[in-house]
Each structure stands twice: as C-alpha cells, then as structure tokens.
C-alpha cells in the first residue's frame, strides 16, 4: 500500500518551525535565518516532500511554469536550443510549456496559462523575431534569433568567433590561399565572413577570390566549387559558411581528383547532425555553435534574480570540431 503523501505540516514539524515559515522557505520567499532555512530544506529532502503545484499557485500566484514559444519547432537547429532551455528549467524545478508558432492565438494561450516567464526560440538570423514582450508582465528572453525590439535580450551564436576559429585553424595547418563560400542576405553569414577576413588581415593575408555568395544548400556548394575549378583559382583551403555547402564542395573536389586535405582543406560550420561524422570519427572539420549551451544560457538569464532588463544581443561561444577534411586524420 502506498504511504500517505508528505504534507507541508510534516516538514514544518520535522524542522521545528511553523507551517507559514516552512511555506515561505519552500516557495523561495520571505526573510528567514540561514540556519532555519537550511533546517527546513534538509527536512524536506529527508522526507522526500513534493509540493502540490496547485496549492503553490494559490499560495504564491506563481505557476512555476515557463512558456517556450518556438518559431519553427521542426527545424533542425531548434531542437538543441529547446533541449538546453528545458533541461535547465527542469533542473531548477520548473515545468516547461512548449508551444510552436509565433501567432496571436499562441500568445493568448500562454497568457491564459499564467506562465512565470517565456523563452522565445527563433529560427536563426535570417530575419528578426517579432517581439511579444509587451504582451506579458513576466520576463521574456529570445534564443537563436534576434528580437526586432532592441530592449529585449537575445541570445545568438557568435558568428564572428566562428569565422575566426575556422580561419585560425586553417592558418595553423599551413594554409595560406583561402576562399570563402557562403550564403547571401543572412546576418550569420555576414558575421562569419567578418571573422574570416579579420584573422586573414591580422596575418597579412586576404581571400584569394571574392567571397562566393549564394544559398545555404549543398547544391550551392557544388556550383561554387565547380566555378573555382573552372576558373583555375589557386586555393589550398575552402572555408564554407555551413556544413551543407561543405558537403557540396567535397563532392566536387573528390570527383575532380583533388585530394582532401592534402591539396585542399575544407571546413564548415554548424556541426550538422550526421553530416560530419564517419565510422572512424569526424570527416568534416566544422564549427559547433553549441546551441544546447545557448538555450541553457537564455534560460539561466530568464531566471536570474534580480533579472537583467538591459536588453541587447548576447553572443555565445562556438567550438571547433577538428576532422579529417583539414588534416586531423586521413580522409
């Protein structure tokens, strides 16, 4: 037979305090002596006390639920951001309420649920995320997208850092004749290019050809690589704006008999799921934007006490994942 659920009065009795005092501590409020607070928390843990969510809501007016509003939940890069945010919230004892689609109906649904905060997950830097902050009287933070209201706080990967990391890696490997194949009309592409050009300038170098700008697709990588070969561009490294472009470049180089990485090194960005690894380890050297950590950082910012309402864009660090395409192993 299941034992009787542990009640708040049981915790209070075990800690030797009143029920209101125990309630204050377990709900994160009130001024209580540190020793008393520690005693109450220890009693709650020893008794495996599990607060009743409905009772907590009536007592504090807080639902202990954070809304997570995604712009495009099925998108490849949304999931790691979502997992990072939700995992962080769960570790703080908070429930998450995911809703997909930045629509007025979804905003009203989250308002009705009385969420204690909101994480808005965008779909990259291709276009701004419409701000919904004015519709809520609780903290709102934006992740993997920049709000169109500069008063909001938005967390995005550091694109300049991505460009710098990749270029520094190529130069460290002895490459000096670099080209850059990327997308156009996208802030992420612009920032990565800035990083590439900055590192080259610091080394007294420049790209051996103007940046080749098209789309984010593998097909664009194929088209750009064929053009490089047809024009006879003397190149020893191709820094691609993302891993899909890099896949297209690799296909063309291999078909042409160009050895990778002996003749030409190839590097991408995104650490595309399943796109950079082979049976013997990573094939494509890439820059991982660490989107899980980005989602976690956005959630932590939301929960900060006191919250930071300064607004602006927070750029989170990236990480180099070395693979065979730049000489980390034989390809």
Set out the domains of the chain in order of their start, with CATH numbers: 8-52 (1.10.260.40), 65-157+291-317 (3.40.50.2300), 159-288+320-326 (3.40.50.2300)
Nearest-CA neighbor of 262 among 306, 326, 185?
A: 326
Which DSSP state fits 129? Answer: B
- Which of the four pLDDT bands, split at 50, 70 and 90, describes residue 60? very low
Query: Is 27 exposed, middle or buried (CB count within 10 Å of its CB: 0-12, 13-18, 19+)?
Result: middle
Neighbours of 106 (CB within 10 A): 16
User: Please, are residues 187 and 159 in contact by the beta-carbon 8 Å criterion?
Assistant: yes
- Which of the four pLDDT bands, split at 50, 70 and 90, describes residue 173? very high
Q: For 300-325, write each residue's pLDDT tens digit.
A: 999 885 555 678 999 999 999 999 99
Extended beta strands in the chain, E state? 65-70, 95-100, 117-121, 140-143, 153-157, 178-183, 212-214, 237-240, 265-269, 277-278, 281-282, 285-288, 312-316, 319-321
User: Please, are residues 44 and 53 in contact by the beta-carbon 8 Å criterion?
Assistant: no
Q: For 215-243, write each residue's pLDDT tens digit.
A: 999 999 999 999 999 999 999 999 999 99
Q: Which two tokens stand for residue 109?
A: 């649904």
Query: How many residues are given for the chain?
Result: 331
Instruction: Please tell me the pTM assigned to this model.
Output: 0.80
Q: For 76-115, write each residue's pLDDT tens digit.
A: 899 999 999 999 999 988 999 999 999 999 999 999 988 9
């Amino acid at each position: 037979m299941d034992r009787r659920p542990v009640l708040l009065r049981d915790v209070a009795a075990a800690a030797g305090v009143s029920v209101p005092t125990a309630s204050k501590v377990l709900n994160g409020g009130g001024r209580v002596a540190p020793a008393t607070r520690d005693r109450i928390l220890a009693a709650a843990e020893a008794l495996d006390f599990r607060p009743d969510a409905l009772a907590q809501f009536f007592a504090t007016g807080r639902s202990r639920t954070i809304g997570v509003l995604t712009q495009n939940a099925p998108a490849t890069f949304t999931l790691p951001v979502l997992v990072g945010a939700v995992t962080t919230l769960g570790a703080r004892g908070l429930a998450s309420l995911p809703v997909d689609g930045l629509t007025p109906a979804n905003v009203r649904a989250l308002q009705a649920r009385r969420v204690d905060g909101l994480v808005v997950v965008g779909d990259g830097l291709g276009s701004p995320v419409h701000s919904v902050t004015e519709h809520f009287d609780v903290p709102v933070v934006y992740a993997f997208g920049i709000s169109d209201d500069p008063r909001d706080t938005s967390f995005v990967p550091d694109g300049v850092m991505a460009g710098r990391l990749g270029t520094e890696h190529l130069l460290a490997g002895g490459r000096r004749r670099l080209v850059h194949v990327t997308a156009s009309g996208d802030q992420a592409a612009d920032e990565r290019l800035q990083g590439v050009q900055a590192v080259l300038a610091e080394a007294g170098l420049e790209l051996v050809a103007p940046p080749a700008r098209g789309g984010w697709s593998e097909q664009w990588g194929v088209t750009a690589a064929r053009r490089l070969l047809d024009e006879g561009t003397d190149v020893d490294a191709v820094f691609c704006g993302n891993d899909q472009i890099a896949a297209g470049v690799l296909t063309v180089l291999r078909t042409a008999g160009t050895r990778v990485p002996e003749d030409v090194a190839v590097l991408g960005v995104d650490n595309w799921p399943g796109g950079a690894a082979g049976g013997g380890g990573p094939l494509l050297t890439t820059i991982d934007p660490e989107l899980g950590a980005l989602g976690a950082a956005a959630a932590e910012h939301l929960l900060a006490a006191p919250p930071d309402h300064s607004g602006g864009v927070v750029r989170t660090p990236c990480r180099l994942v070395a693979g065979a395409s730049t000489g980390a192993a034989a390809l």
